[in-house]
Amino acid sequence: MSLKKILIVIVVVVAVAAIVAFTVIRAQSGYTKVITDKAVRKDLVATVSGTGQIKPKTYVNLGATAFGRITHLYVKEGDKVKRGEEVASIENVQQGANVEGQKASISAAETDIAADIAAEKTQEANVEHAKADLEQKKLDYDRAKALYAGQIMAKQDYDAKKAAYDLALATLAQSNAALIQAKAETQSGRGHLNTQEATLRANIDLLGKTVAIAPFDGIVTNLPVREGETVVEGIQNAQGSTLMTLADMSVITAEVKVDETDIVNVALGQSADVTVDALPGKVFKGHVTEVGDQALLRSTGVATSQTTSGQEEAKDFKVVITLDNPSDELRPGLSTTAKIQTARKDDVVAIPIQALAMRAPDAHGAKAGSTADGQKQVQGVFVVENEKGKLRAHFVPVTTGITGTTDIEITSGVKPGEEIVTGTFHVLRDLKDNALVKRDTSPIGPTNSESSGS
């Protein structure tokens, strides 16, 4: 083929392409490419997210209650313990000696009391003997008085009987006094025994304080000491040594921080899904059991009521979620994310969140954010309608309900099945009411500006 023919073919091809391009451009002039979707009925769940860590509901720091050297540590970090189990011991030579010495003192006191009781019995017998002797001496004395009055008995014999009677009276009084003294000594011995027993209980308590006992079933989450180290007990305002931290893992919580803009939607009893970074793929069900009433500075975690800083910064609120069925795999301190279900509605009209736009009430074609006349803007969507073969987008004000992850409830303004404009962000920002539109079915990846603005 000659060069001339080749040039002619090229010119024809270019001309045809130009005609086609011109036809397409003319056909599309005045149209705006939009991405559309339809309003549908679906179930919506509104959620609030928060991040934090796994914490046991109950935990305790076992502190040293005696001064001395740690002789035994029966557990290591991560071990499970049972209530009443001995977990550590401190040297107790002095405390043990005090207990044994006090037991010996009590044994001696009990022996003394037994001797006092025997002496008391002896004195009781003496009193009975003195009473019998007095009764006999009284009879003799009474007869002597009668005989002496009848001048039958000599005065010397009468005086002897009287003296014997008086002596029996004195002997009985002396025996009664000795019995009272014996009973007092027995009572005193019992008092000393009670004192010795009280001292023994105190010594046993001091001995018991050299042994650390698990107060509940749990797991050792922190063990900052080693065998051979010397520990001290706390006094007044001075904190003592901590032997270990025990956590009751039967009730596990996720303590998360929720943004201040979302906390108003969180309430006690709401259900939540909790995921743990260390256990991918597992979701733990739970419910909200505590909602903090003090804002925490995001930078420091300090409550705003405890800081004098006048700077405005982001704040969070503490929310505690108790897990319904905790796993043995969970450990205190594991990072966690919670999605709290704050509301749920079934079979509602819903549209993608990004379809919402803001327009002035009397100037639907104005750009979002325009408040030239000071009027408050209204929220709405662009509904696509087919008018004589042409698609037009009409701005329709809507009222909204709960917000799901990607969709939002429409309570009025849009009906199920209606086609609405959902993007792109740049198109929605500039789209005019009653504008001619054309569905854009080509895949378009989001730009940075769209990602940040949507």
Over residues 92-103, the pLDDT tens digits come to: 999 999 999 999
CB hemisphere CA count around 211 (13 angstroms)? 12
Q: Is the pLDDT of residue 27 over 70?
A: no
Domain presence at residue 8? no
Looking at the fold, whether 198 and 214 belong to one and the same domain comes out as: no
Is this prediction's pTM over 0.85? no
Q: What is the pLDDT of residues 419-440, one digit of tens each?
A: 999 988 888 988 888 999 998 8
* DSSP helix, strand, coil percent of the chain (3-state; round to 5): 35, 35, 30
Q: Which residues share a beta bridge with 439?
A: 34
* Average pLDDT of the chain to the nearest whole number: 86
Q: What is the pLDDT of residues 361-395, one digit of tens each?
A: 764 444 444 455 556 789 999 999 998 888 999 99
Looking at the fold, whether 214 and 177 belong to one and the same domain comes out as: no
Domain presence at residue 3? no
More confident residue, 414 or 405: 414
Domain presence at residue 221? yes
Looking at the fold, whether 227 and 199 belong to one and the same domain comes out as: no
More confident residue, 2 or 408: 408
Select, from the ranges 180-184, 300-304, 365-369, the one with the highest average predicted confidence (pLDDT). 180-184
**CATH value at residue 83:** 2.40.50.100
Looking at the fold, whether 166 and 299 belong to one and the same domain comes out as: no
Domain presence at residue 16? no
CA 100 to chain centre: 44
Domain limits at 299?
Answer: 48-52+250-345
Q: What is the pLDDT of residues 319-334, one digit of tens each?
A: 999 999 988 888 888 9
Domain presence at residue 14? no
Q: Is the dihedral of CA 116, 121, 127, 130 positive or negative?
A: negative
Amino acid (one-letter) located at 353: I
Structure tokens at 264: 């108003």
Looking at the fold, whether 371 and 317 belong to one and the same domain comes out as: no
Q: What is the pLDDT of residues 84-125, one digit of tens each?
A: 999 999 999 999 999 999 999 999 999 999 999 999 999 999
More confident residue, 7 or 204: 204
Q: What number is the average pLDDT over the span 56-78? A: 91
Looking at the fold, whether 111 and 143 belong to one and the same domain comes out as: yes
Domain presence at residue 2? no
Looking at the fold, whether 339 and 391 belong to one and the same domain comes out as: no
Q: Which of 295, 328, 345 is the last residue of a domain?
A: 345
Amino acid (one-letter) located at 75: V
**CATH value at residue 285:** 2.40.30.170
Q: Which of 298, 320, 345 is the last residue of a domain?
A: 345
CB hemisphere CA count around 406 (13 angstroms)? 3
CA 351 to chain centre: 39
Looking at the fold, whether 84 and 141 belong to one and the same domain comes out as: no
Domain presence at residue 12? no
Q: Which residues of 354-363 are buried (b: 16+ CB within 10 A; e: fewer)?
A: bbbbbbbeeb
pLDDT at 22: 42
Q: Which residues of 208-222 are buried (b: 16+ CB within 10 A; e: fewer)?
A: ebbbbebeeebbbbb
Looking at the fold, whether 351 and 341 belong to one and the same domain comes out as: no
How many angstroms separate the CA atoms of 368 and 358, rounded?
Answer: 5
Domain presence at residue 15? no
Contact 63, 70 (CB under 8 A): no
Q: How many domains does the chain have?
A: 4
Looking at the fold, whether 138 and 225 belong to one and the same domain comes out as: no
Structure tokens at 328: 């043995």
